[in-house]
Amino acid sequence: MNGFSPLVGRTLAQVAQVGTDVNVDVGPAFGVVGGAVGAFLTTLVVGAILVAVVPEYVERTMASVLDEPVESFLYGVLCLVAVAVVTVLLIFTLVGVLLAIPLGLVAYVVWAVGAAVAFLAIADRLVGRENGWTKPLLVAAGLNGALALTGVGGIVSFGIGAAGFGAVLRDWLG
């Protein structure tokens, strides 16, 4: 046993020295730009799928976001807080971890759908869709990406996403 301890100590010291030689500095700009690109692509892809598969649902939910923005926002924020609390509580149980992961994934998908619908509602008001959904999709994705690119815009983007999240959940939960 005594012969094993110095070997472990030397190995750990060597590993620690190797770790100190690595210097990765990506910078905060990379994270912001990556977040903006992710927001743009998520809105574009999810929105395109929605308008291709369920355009009536998109129009109905867009109308809900535009007609009742405050109610949709409050419902979305409250549901988001509830999902976060339930997820944290589930993580503290052994069996709950198996439920927390799918709950988080479902919440993310519903958020992406809601945010895409809310940004499409804004884009539709800005540019209309006389020539189809392409222009509103690109404007919606551009708005979300541009807002995510700035600090204050991220808060606005969260608010818009929460309104869409709330509208989707109000529609699904009745």
**Contacts of the segment 34-39: beta carbons below 8 A, 24+ positions apart:** 35/148, 35/149, 35/154, 36/145, 36/146, 36/148, 36/149, 37/145, 38/148, 39/141, 39/144, 39/145, 39/147, 39/148, 39/157
Locate all alpha helices (DSSP H) within the chain, ordered by sequence.
4-20, 28-53, 55-67, 69-91, 96-127, 134-149, 151-173
Q: Which residue has the higher pLDDT, 10 or 126?
A: 126
- In this structure, is the dihedral angle defined by the CA atoms of residues 120, 121, 125 and 126, taken in order, positive or negative? negative
- Answering whether pTM is above 0.85, one says no
Return d(Cα 51, Cα 55) in angstroms, integer. 4
CA angle 168-79-111, nearest 5°?
45
Reply yes or no on whether the pLDDT at 80 is more than 50: yes
The DSSP secondary structure of 80-114, one letter per residue, reads: HHHHHHHHHHHHTSTTHHHHHHHHHHHHHHHHHHH
Per-residue pLDDT tens digits for 90-127: 988 878 888 999 999 999 999 999 999 999 999 999 99
pLDDT band at 34 (very low <50, low <70, confident <90, very high): confident
**CA distances to 10, 147, 148, 170, 174 from 75, in Å:** 57, 22, 22, 8, 12
Per-residue pLDDT tens digits for 56-71: 999 999 999 999 999 9
Reply yes or no on whether the pLDDT at 39 is more than 70: yes
